């Protein structure tokens, strides 16, 4: 890709040599000949051997007078777009590996890759361009949309539904039974029916070894464009909206609702039936009590508080030693007085 | 199943049409013709299209005058029992998939399902009615009891023992090495022997991607009827009693003992050699220090405290701003005085 | 192994019968004939049926006058060494299971075990003595060193590099995409390129179902001799030094650096770009803010504090009820006065 074409693609302004060929992306420090990197802020001092750079408007070019630059409002986003072209997803050509166990009643559209040691169950359907990588197991009555990548050793239980352009990383488990029991007279736990399903909408990405339980009676749903990190637990009947981001090791208990455009840190815990309103941001390791309604804003701590309250409270706690000393002083004064 | 038979099965009192046929369970909101739902509390106001409802004694029938009702002390438990009949576990008929690698010295009782791409090692034994689903790997000298479901991609390491009616969800790892090392003179970590085993008693259910490490020298044991959620970590030589419930992402360090009938929330952390007495309840995200003895009662926080102490302390912390103001006021008065 | 040879091996001093044969290790309580156990502290009162014991110098032998003893400075380490000989790693003889899918361009050194339902991709290389157990999937361009054990259902993504003597327990995922996105004008998340790699140095052990993401642009690296427990999350571009110990369920966000010889408890959370200096010890469930520099010492809590500060602060919080009462008293006195 020529620098000129890159500039045009991202709607940026080219400085320098438009004919230079760029074959890959890299970060500033390691980038070298034929690579493009990016600078996020105008006043960054940099040294780089990259052949071309995305820079923001107002970037001080004096520090690197000889560079080829593409000036663009959001250099990181421009970088992402060009990376998507220069480093496309690994293509695996249409193939059904001889070892794969594909039910006769399953339907596969064109251009589907089905790797070694995979299973595709009865009445399941796999959309065009989708890759089912080695060792993935797809149950009965499962729908997987188009252009998905189902990575090795993923398991999708019977009846679940996966949209288009979904990526499930290795070891993901979709649709295992939720965790619900009722105690009987003898104190034994009896399993509440876990006969619902999971719906994963388009453009969702789910990290390695994450679990999404099926609904007990209804469905568990992950909204379009939502991104979920590794080792996350999503309980039965949870509903997550569109364009949410959920970092690693967070756990979401049954029936909790997270509306659109929320950002959830890592290792956050949600009690059941919590309800997070659209646009809320919850910091890492926070704890949300069962049934809690979380309004838009930034939240922190266990149990969660607005971030500024949390900070103020933390400051008060840190000031306790001094407060204690002051009270002691007062007591002394009063006794002396 | 006729409503009359359902009432008889659960020992409930039938109101309305005993001949109506019920074919499945559902929740109140989505239930429709030929479905049964349940109401937990007498004064719930409901609208439902279910053909039949379990309701508790004293339920105000005026709100739904035309319904078929089964009055029963514990409607949720009745619902669970009927669901178990109307929605039985998926049956997989006796079969050893041609791709399965089953050792000649392994013994399989009747009616065992062995799915594709499974391994069953030397001298291992699988009980009647058990399902070993696709991709599960069972090591050497493993015993799996009767009527178990070993879901896809589970791994059971050599020498572990699984009781009857055990469910291991996808990706569970039983009997991997525990985490123990001894530093030598050069600062390198030397692995403490991890040569014990894991015993899982009857009626245990273990959630997806949960790990139960083998004992270092002795055994790790999960007591009968205990239910463990997804992504839980159970360290070497941990002993968990009967009828415990452990929610997702909790971690239990080596040699900790949890006695019978405990309830443990999600994301709880236990240091090693802690001892939780029978009947204790520990709230989500709590932290239990190594060696701590936890008496029966409700516990919360890190390090754990009795719930009422935790609440009182939380209230005090929240009141710190005011306390600080009061001290300031006192100082001023004293200075003025 | 004769007791005499054991004493010689560990550089200990033999008491009693040097001819006694020891065939296995056990703990004090369960050890019996032909077994060796260890006592860590001189003044431990013990009863054991072990045939031989490692004991520290100064151990009071009067309590077990008839025993065969090996007196050694570090009895636990001596025990570990002898256990390594008496209980060697399970040997699996060189074999490529007929079901294995091994690329023609992959190179396997001598004495490699390749189990059932495994894949080894193009241009990958497996070192001498390494075991690739059933169901493990190794992508393209992967290097695995010598004498490694890759347990069942592990996945190693394209281009990752594994040193010698590395153990990856069941379900480990190495080199899945990191978690990085850039929002575009329409609010959709665009995936930042995750085209880097993972390097795991020699003598690393990684616990079951742990995930190590590939670098976004550079590499994620785990230093030689580091031991990582189950269900740990290691984000893209994290760099972990040599001889670190990281307990279960800890999560490390992108680009965080942990230098050599650190000890990290379980369920710890690290924000991105944190930097932990060599020798730091971080307690379980602690939280490290993004960008935080953690100096050597013992750290605790969220956000982390030096342990003694944490304890003092905790004591202050516990004393709040009393402080409040004192302030009330002062107010009363002043009003009365």
DSSP per residue over C188-250, as a string?
-EEEPP---EEEE-TT-EE-TT-EEPPPSSSEEEE-TT-EE-TT-EE-TT-EE-TT-EE-TT-
Task: Check CB contact of A207 with chain C, cutoff 8 Å.
Answer: yes
Question: Do strands C263-264 and C297-300 pair parallel, antiparallel, or not at all (unpaired)?
Answer: unpaired
pLDDT of residue C43: 82
**Is C273 among the residues known to form the active site?**
no
CA distance C241 to chain A (A): 21
Cα distance between residue B39 and residue C163, in whole Å: 59
What is d(CA C319, CA A321) in angstroms, rounded to the nearest whole number? 11
Q: What is the pLDDT of residue C65?
A: 67
Across the range B104-109, mean pLDDT stands at 98
CA nearest C232 in A: which residue?
Answer: A231
- What is the rounded average pLDDT of the residues C230-248? 98
Looking at residue A66, its pLDDT comes to 66
The predicted complex's ipTM stands at 0.95
State the pLDDT confidence band at A337, using cuts at 50, 70 and 90. Answer: low
CB of C171 less than 8 A from some CB of A: yes
CATH fold label, C3-86: 3.40.1390
Q: CB contacts < 8 Å between A and B, how many?
A: 172
CA distances from A66 to A15, A28, A267, C6, C107 (A): 10, 15, 46, 70, 45
Q: What are phi and psi of B320, to 5 degrees?
A: -60, -40
How many Å lie between the alpha carbon of B128 and the closest alpha carbon of chain C? 25
Find the helix or strand (DSSP H, E) in which A96 lies: strand A95-96
Rg (CA), chain B: 26
Backbone phi and psi for residue B78, each to the nearest 5 degrees, phi listed first:
-60, -45
Which pLDDT does position B66 carry in this prediction?
66
- Token duo for residue C236: 């893209």
Q: Whole-angstrom Cα distance, residue B8 to residue B14?
A: 8
**Facing residue for B321 by CB, picked from A191, A251, A316:** A316
CATH for B95-309, options being 2.160.10.10, 3.40.50.620, 2.102.10.10, 3.40.50.2000 = 2.160.10.10
Token pair of C10 as six digits:
């560990």
Return the HEC string of B129-154: CCEECCCCEECCCCEECCCCEECCCC
Active-site residue numbers of A?
Answer: 236
CA-nearest of B47, A272, A124, B334 to C330 is B334
- Closest CA relative to residue C188, chosen from A11, A80, A229: A80
Q: Which chains touch B (3 or more CB pairs under 8 A)?
A: A, C
Confidence of residue A55 (pLDDT cuts 50, 70, 90): very high
Smallest Cβ–Cβ distance between C330 and the set A81, A203, A330 belongs to A330
**Pairing state between β B181-183 and B189-191:** antiparallel
* Chain A (221-280) residues lying within 8 Å, Cβ to Cβ, of chain B: 231, 233, 235, 249, 251, 253, 267, 269, 271
Of A157, A179, A323, the CB nearest to B207: A179
Domain ranges of chain C: 3-86, 95-309
- How many angstroms separate the CA of residue A77 from the nearest CA in chain C? 6
Beta-carbon contacts of residue A90 (< 8 Å; ≥ 6 apart):
C158
Closest-CA residue of C relative to A261 is: C187
Q: Say how many C-beta atoms besides its own lie within 10 A of residue B11's C-beta.
A: 10
Q: How far is CA A126 from CA A147, B135, C253, C260, in A?
A: 9, 20, 34, 47
Residue of C nearest to B121 (CA): C134
Q: Supply the pLDDT for residue B64.
A: 73
Determine contact: C116 vs chain A, CB below 8 A. no
Secondary structure (3-state) at B213: coil
Taking residues B75-90, what's their average pLDDT?
Answer: 95
Question: Is any Cβ of chain A less than 8 angstroms from the Cβ of B83?
Answer: yes
State in Å, rounded, how far the first CA of chain C is from the last one: 84
Average confidence score pLDDT of chain C: 95
- Per-residue pLDDT of C281-296, as tens digits, reads 999 999 999 999 999 9
Nearest residue of chain B to residue C10 (CA atoms): B184
Residue B67 scores a pLDDT above 90: no
Strand A263-264 to C287-288 pairing:
unpaired
Phi and psi for C298 in degrees, rounded to 5?
A: -110, 125
Return the CATH architecture of domain A95-308: 3 Solenoid (2.160)
pLDDT tens digits for range A57-96: 988 877 776 679 999 999 999 999 999 999 998 889 999 9
Of A76, A97, A248, the CB nearest to C179: A248
**What residues in C contact A171, CB-CB < 8 Å?**
153, 155, 171, 173, 209, 211
CA of A176, closest CA in chain C: separation in Å? 17
- Distance between CA A163 and CA A143 in Å, rounded? 8
pLDDT, one tens digit per residue, over B258-301 is 999 999 999 999 999 999 999 999 999 999 999 999 999 999 99
Which B residues, 9 through 28, put their C-beta within 8 Å of a C-beta on chain A? 25-27
User: Any idea which of B232-236, B327-331, C82-86 has the lowest mean pLDDT?
Assistant: B327-331
pLDDT band at B44 (very low <50, low <70, confident <90, very high): confident
In this structure, what token pair is assigned to residue A174?
Answer: 């979709």
Q: Which long-range contacts (CB under 8 A, 24 or more apart) does B154-158 make?
A: B155/C135, B155/C151, B155/C152, B155/C153, B155/C170, B155/C171, B157/B198, B157/B214, B157/C170, B158/B121, B158/C90
């Amino acid at each position: 890709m020529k620098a000129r074409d890159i500039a045009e693609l991202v709607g940026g302004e080219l400085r320098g040599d438009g004919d230079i060929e760029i074959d890959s992306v890299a970060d500033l420090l390691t980038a070298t000949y034929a690579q493009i990197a990016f600078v996020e802020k105008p006043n960054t001092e940099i040294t780089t051997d990259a052949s071309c750079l995305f820079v923001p408007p107002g970037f001080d070019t004096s520090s690197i007078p000889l560079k080829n630059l593409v000036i663009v409002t959001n250099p990181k986003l421009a970088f992402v777009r060009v990376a998507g072209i220069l480093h496309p997803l690994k293509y695996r050509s249409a193939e059904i590996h001889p070892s794969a166990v594909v039910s006769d009643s399953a339907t596969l559209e064109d251009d589907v890759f089905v790797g070694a040691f995979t299973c595709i169950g009865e009445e399941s359907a796999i959309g065009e361009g989708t890759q089912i990588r080695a060792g993935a197991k797809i149950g009965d009555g499962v729908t997987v949309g188009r252009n998905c990548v189902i990575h090795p050793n993923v398991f999708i239980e019977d009846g679940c539904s996966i949209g288009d352009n979904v990526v499930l990383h290795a070891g993901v488990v979709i649709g295992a039974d939720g965790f619900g029991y009722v105690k009987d007279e003898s104190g034994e736990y009896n399993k509440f029916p876990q006969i619902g399903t999971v719906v994963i909408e388009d453009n969702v990405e789910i990290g390695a070894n994450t679990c999404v339980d099926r609904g007990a009676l209804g469905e568990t749903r992950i909204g379009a464009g939502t991104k979920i990190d590794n080792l996350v637990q999503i309980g039965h009947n949870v509903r997550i909206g569109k364009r949410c981001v959920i970092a690693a090791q967070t756990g979401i208990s049954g029936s909790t609702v997270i509306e659109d455009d929320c950002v959830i840190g890592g290792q956050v815990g949600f009690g059941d039936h919590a309800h997070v309103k659209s646009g809320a941001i919850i910091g890492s390791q926070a704890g949300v009590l069962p049934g809690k309604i979380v309004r838009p804003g930034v939240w922190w701590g266990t149990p969660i508080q607005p971030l500024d309250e949390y900070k103020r409270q933390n400051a008060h706690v840190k000031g306790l030693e001094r407060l204690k000393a002051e009270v002691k002083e007062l007591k002394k004064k009063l006794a002396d007085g």
